[in-house]
Structure 1
Amino acid sequence: MLSFKTYIKDTLQAEVQKGTVDTLRLRRAFLTTRLLFKKFEWASEYFTADLSRRLNGPPVEEVENADLLDPSLARGVEPIGLQVIEELIYPTYDNSNRQKLIREIEHLITNTDYLISYFEDHQLEDWRILDASKLEVFRIISLGITGFDNALSRNSMIESSMALGSLQQILLQYEGRKETLPLMLKGAIKYLQQHAEFESFDRAQFITQFANNISTEIAQLERNLPGPKIRYNRMLRQDVNTMFDLNAFNVDAFSPGPKFHFSNEKAVLGEKLFYDVALSGTHTRSCASCHHPDLAFTDGLNLQVDIHGSGRLLKRNTPTLLNAALQSNYFYDMRSLTLEDQIHDVIGNKQEMDGSVTDIVQYVSSDKIYRSLFNKAFNTVDGPISAEQVSNALASYIRGLTKINSRFDDYMRGDKNALSKSEVNGFNLFMGKGKCATCHFLPLFNGVTPPKFIQSEVEVLGVPKSMKDSVLDSDLGYYDIIGVDSYKYAFKIPSVRNVKKTAPYMHNGIYRTLDEVMEFYNNGGGAGLGIKLSNQTLSDENLHLSEKEMKDIIAFMESLESQ
């Protein structure tokens, strides 16, 4: 970290402070600065996540206090760090940005001082070092090799090799499988360095041949350590070998608390409630009316109709419930933090269900079959049924719909025959040239950022109102919840798992086919349609994907169907 700070001051800062900036020298200094950051990324991301975000966070305005009950407390915070600097010097450097660049470099130095101070004052336990090392491998394969944090310079493979090189030095000190792990790391580093071209890099081979084996060895080292370890409530289970392990993800990670955790008995009760039209105020609509199992729990409609038969359409497309537990926010506008909250919202919505949880409690309390199921689910003996139990039972049924068992998952678990050549190529394009994985993150392919999987991301795409013209859809999305201007027209990033069955697509259901979706992204989103939107976060550049490449990406996405 000291070398990072020293290099920034002596080289990067010195280069910018010259009267005339040499762009090539500036870029070389910047790329070296990023490489030095990657040497301690494993530690800064694990132990000082907030500081790490200030050093290398996304170049978009952050929202503070967005998860509080009072949306008025939310405020936008300007981004700082290496990714902001990258946008100032790529694709071309404009000297009019020199003062801003100087300020950004000063921020880097200040935050590095805070980082150094933290590690000077804290003793790092061995199990945390190994846990952080394993998460760094996961970070590399889910973010590092996708160009997530170097979208313009795209020095992804060299940076990832630097991060692995740092782990190589750290892990040498631990007893155990010294004869295998160093060789694995050496091979992975060599592969990254010898195949550094961004678009042609074979991510599927790197993950299956190198990364999965490395993380498995680190996990074994951690298990061999003596002494107690803290067990974190993480969505990606702490004891996994790889991100693709069976049952790698904890469906209860975002539940309100331990008493809300999944059980088979709750799920059985929840399933009965799910198909019961009595949950709606009109007794004509159940949850299953809009979430059909044969359509991956969607409805196949652009927009569902109002429950009262007025012909009025609901505001947004019906999302899948498969793997819905594996996200930190619900609804396209992120307004609910738990499945239980989401269920209360839907039941009480005048256009969706127009129901009352109080009425539902009275209904199930008077039914012998329901009472028996509630007793089994909540270990009670004819005690009063609560609204909390109703919503938790439904949420438990949805948590039970977690199915990370596609052919792609089989491939990542070692079955090389699970995917076709076209699908593997589509995966590599999805992770690289297509830039899909910089929003739909491996391995869930939703917007919850790996490897800690704490925060759901939103994106401003510039989705049009209709296929007929290039007029922006008027739905303000996340902005209506938090009121921060840069998030106008922002929507939660959904999963592309089971996408073969979840048409139509986008928050308003505008696109009927995946070909139409790919065309939209390939042309730069709304900007490519001529929509003027100053805060579009999706790159407005054409991806230059060929017809075959787009077909391969679609083939890959269709391989993500749950089995």
Structure 2
Amino acid sequence: MYRNRFKIFLQLLLFITCLSAVLGLKEGPDRRGLHRLTDEFKISSTRFAETTIELQHAVKLIDEKNPETITLAKNALRKSRLAYKRIEFFMDYFFPSSALIYNRPAKVEVDEPYMEYQEPSGFQVMEAALFDQAPRSKKQLAEQAEVLNTSAADLPALLYAFVANDQQILESIRLELVRVITLSITGYDAPELKSGITESYQSILTIKTILSPYLRRDQRGSELLLQHLNTTLSYLQLHPDFDSFDRMSFLTGYALPLQEQLSLFIKNQHLLLNSKSALNYEAKHIYSTDAILPEVFPGAAGRTTGMVSLGKKLFLDKSLSGNLRRSCASCHHPERYFSEDLKTSITFDGKGTVQRNAPTLLYSGFQYSQFWDGRAKSLQEQIKGVISNPTEMNGNHEVIIARINKSEYYKKYFLKYFADSAAQPISIGTIADALAAYIGSLSPRNSAFDRYMNGDKNAMKAKAVSGFNLFMGKGQCGSCHFAPLFNGLIPPYYKLTEYEVLGTPGNNDFNQAKKDMDRGRYDFFPISYYEAAFKTPTVRNVVMTAPYMHNGALKDLYQVVEFYNKGGGAGLGLTIPGQTLSAKPLNLSKKEVGEIIAFLESLTDKL
């Protein structure tokens, strides 16, 4: 019965995605790569389907009393994942709805704003079950294996009436390279199998295969690109061990130069297309300071340097508050990297504290929602809310507009920068726009780490480099704090902001941890999966912005890293049913903790 229902669902999904392909993909005059793409997909999808049969068989043989059968199932899962990596770029780019079946995170996700649940499915669910210390659900494993096998068998149907032009094909593989650089080498989708390096090899090998129709022996650009592909593949092949893999050497010596050459090649072929992501394809590589486009984020379009200057003056202006004693800088101190050294800020009346910690405003413009719980859709919406909030600035919008209108300076420059705002250049909307322009400009990207990644090999100390390797590897930090901004923007598209349930305690005594009662995003969206969920903040400049977490409970970075090292709240013994952070200890040594903190120190900007 389960199989029949799934087949009906799959057939409908395939029909919809194929129809989308026919209607949505623009026909291009140049399709050198189309035949290679479809031929490769036929071969690789067939091989993938064969591995799902093997996986299904291995699951059937699982005997809880025989560890060897579980090991065989893990190996079959690893083999199937490797085969899937040969078609991942195609599925994720051209048929994202169908791709959800195979490699979704092992947690329930909510499709906003429609509030539809997306149940976990595929590889990551099976990995979590196979490595879980609690009794495994063989039934769940069998169901997931059947889903993979049934859907894989029907993959060739995706090619019915499929069309794609060269720009789309090349964009799909350049995004796959970003996925390798930012996700695969961190173990993002295979943290227990630790197969990310060998999977990266398969992804790069596929990129090379798909590129072959475009490469000409008499073109220097082709020769250089092929050389970079081959050296990158060789490095991955020679260093397959996940824990010991030198990510910094791989990135700076191989992957980033490959990305740079691939971008240059696509540009020179006049096949540039950016239809999917927030990435700046004109940037040198993902760690360039201009790698992500600021204007794609809510409320960022149309900002000018003049608005930034006007917003900076408003940021320091106490006339925005109800008592003329408080400004934005009262809680987000520029000298403290736009944060505050209190657990939570003092309320407007001075008699209490607000609910949550005042985080840094640096890089806050690179988010799709604001506040810890993400309840504001833009910086402008957040600003309006803070100004009028009785516990924060307690300002009446009409009174504030009247005050600003009394200033000849403000009248002059609001009229200059907001001349198109009908007959009222000064309004709460334009005030919020100016402030958002300033806050959105707070993204210096000039830290020691940034200088190192852009060529200055003296910028970082060896300890910090080791810390980066741990952050992106064994420490699993980079699988939630995604490169290059190290916040919750999910690569390779950077179109979604992630929320996590960490089980952050209400105190910093890990031996007697107390549960924090803040319900997080649940208070905004009352869905059980959002219980105690918070937006993943950037860790850039984190050394300068203590105390930490949404409640300011952790006083220093040693406590923060140790909290993760112990497995979050569940690892501390708290009951956190929906924790999305693995409760398993990371087993980081004291030396390794110090190295991770050294890396975090290297993320400090010069203001």
Normalised by the shorter chain, which TM-score bucket? over 0.9
Q: Match for residue 269 of structure 1?
A: 310
CA contact (8 A) 2:344 2:551 kept: yes
The Cα of 1:543 is off from its aligned counterpart by 1.4
Distance in 1, Cα, partners of 2:59 & 2:231: 37
Instruction: Give the percent of matched residue pairs that are identical in Structure 1 and Structure 2.
Output: 37
The Cα of 1:59 is off from its aligned counterpart by 0.5
Distance in 1, Cα, partners of 2:566 & 2:376: 32
Distance in 2, Cα, partners of 1:378 & 1:119: 50
3-state SS, counterpart of residue 558 of structure 2: helix
Q: Match for residue 256 of structure 1?
A: 299
Distance in 2, Cα, partners of 1:132 & 1:399: 29
Aligned residue among 6, 16, 19 for 2:59: 16
Q: Residue 191 and residue 49 in structure 1: after superposition, are their counterparts in 2 closer, same or farther (change >3 A)? A: same
Aligned residue among 592, 595, 606 for 1:552: 595
Q: Match for residue 212 of structure 2?
A: 172
The Cα of 1:492 is off from its aligned counterpart by 0.8
CA contact (8 A) 1:91 1:152 kept: no
Deviation track 1:105-158 (CA, whole Å, cap 9, x = no partner) reads: 232245446754344333222122222222211111111001100011111110
Distance in 2, Cα, partners of 1:505 & 1:114: 48
Instruction: Read off the aligned partner of 1:327 and give its amino acid letter.
Output: Q
* 1:98 correspondence with 2:141: no
* 1:539 correspondence with 2:582: yes
Q: Match for residue 165 of structure 2?
A: 125
Distance in 2, Cα, partners of 1:18 & 1:546: 38
Q: Match for residue 40 of structure 1?
A: 87
Aligned residue among 387, 401, 408 for 2:449: 408
The Cα of 1:373 is off from its aligned counterpart by 0.9
Q: Match for residue 364 of structure 1?
A: 404
Q: Match for residue 364 of structure 2?
A: 324
Q: Which range moves more in the overlay, 123-132 or 322-331?
A: 123-132
Instruction: Read off the aligned partner of 2:364 and give its amino acid letter.
Output: A
Distance in 2, Cα, partners of 1:466 & 1:329: 27
The Cα of 1:24 is off from its aligned counterpart by 3.4
3-state SS, counterpart of residue 76 of structure 1: strand
Instruction: Read off the aligned partner of 1:397 and give its amino acid letter.
Output: Y
Distance in 2, Cα, partners of 1:169 & 1:92: 40
The Cα of 1:487 is off from its aligned counterpart by 2.2
CA contact (8 A) 1:76 1:484 kept: no
Aligned residue among 461, 483, 487 for 1:446: 487
Distance in 2, Cα, partners of 1:343 & 1:233: 29
The Cα of 1:446 is off from its aligned counterpart by 0.6
Q: Match for residue 348 of structure 2?
A: 307
Instruction: Read off the aligned partner of 2:263 and give its amino acid letter.
Output: A
Distance in 2, Cα, partners of 1:433 & 1:2: 31
- TM-score, with length taken from structure 2: 0.87
Instruction: Read off the aligned partner of 2:282 and give its amino acid letter.
Output: D
The Cα of 1:345 is off from its aligned counterpart by 1.5
Instruction: Read off the aligned partner of 2:476 and give its amino acid letter.
Output: K
Aligned residue among 186, 190, 194 for 1:146: 186
Deviation track 1:384-427 (CA, whole Å, cap 9, x = no partner) reads: 12322111111001111112221111111111111100000000
- TM-score, with length taken from structure 1: 0.93
CA contact (8 A) 2:48 2:84 kept: no
CA contact (8 A) 2:51 2:79 kept: no
Q: Match for residue 62 of structure 1?
A: 109
Distance in 2, Cα, partners of 1:113 & 1:361: 63
Deviation track 1:75-120 (CA, whole Å, cap 9, x = no partner) reads: 43321111111122225796x6232222212322454467543443
CA contact (8 A) 1:5 1:109 kept: no
CA contact (8 A) 2:49 2:153 kept: no
CA contact (8 A) 2:339 2:358 kept: yes
Q: Match for residue 387 of structure 2?
A: 347
3-state SS, counterpart of residue 137 of structure 2: helix
3-state SS, counterpart of residue 465 of structure 2: helix
Gaps of 5+ in 1: none
3-state SS, counterpart of residue 201 of structure 2: helix
* 1:49 correspondence with 2:96: yes
Aligned residue among 203, 224, 230 for 1:163: 203
Q: Match for residue 428 of structure 1?
A: 469
3-state SS, counterpart of residue 39 of structure 1: coil
Distance in 2, Cα, partners of 1:19 & 1:466: 42
Q: Residue 538 and residue 10 in structure 1: after superposition, are their counterparts in 2 closer, same or farther (change >3 A)? A: closer
3-state SS, counterpart of residue 63 of structure 1: strand
Distance in 2, Cα, partners of 1:335 & 1:167: 39
* 1:529 correspondence with 2:572: yes
Distance in 1, Cα, partners of 2:542 & 2:499: 19
Q: Match for residue 552 of structure 2?
A: 509
Q: Which range moves more in the overlay, 422-431 or 485-494?
A: 485-494
Gaps of 5+ in 2: 1-43
* 1:375 correspondence with 2:419: no
CA contact (8 A) 2:56 2:149 kept: no
Instruction: Read off the aligned partner of 1:160 and give its amino acid letter.
Output: S
Distance in 2, Cα, partners of 1:382 & 1:46: 42
The Cα of 1:473 is off from its aligned counterpart by 0.6
Deviation track 1:300-326 (CA, whole Å, cap 9, x = no partner) reads: 1111011112x2110000011111111
Instruction: Read off the aligned partner of 1:431 and give its amino acid letter.
Output: M
CA contact (8 A) 1:251 1:402 kept: no
Deviation track 1:348-380 (CA, whole Å, cap 9, x = no partner) reads: 211011113333222223322111111221235
* 1:485 correspondence with 2:528: yes
Distance in 2, Cα, partners of 1:233 & 1:350: 41
Instruction: Read off the aligned partner of 1:416 and give its amino acid letter.
Output: K
3-state SS, counterpart of residue 57 of structure 2: helix
Q: Which range moves more in the overlay, 509-518 or 104-113?
A: 104-113
Q: Which range moves more in the overlay, 8-17 or 135-144?
A: 8-17
* 1:199 correspondence with 2:243: yes
Instruction: Read off the aligned partner of 1:292 and give its amino acid letter.
Output: H
Distance in 2, Cα, partners of 1:474 & 1:114: 47
CA contact (8 A) 1:233 1:253 kept: no
Instruction: Read off the aligned partner of 2:554 and give its amino acid letter.
Output: Y
Q: Residue 113 and residue 324 in structure 1: after superposition, are their counterparts in 2 closer, same or farther (change >3 A)? A: farther
Q: Match for residue 226 of structure 2?
A: 182
The Cα of 1:50 is off from its aligned counterpart by 3.1
Distance in 2, Cα, partners of 1:233 & 1:358: 41
How many residue pairs get aligned? The number is 552
Instruction: Read off the aligned partner of 1:172 and give its amino acid letter.
Output: S
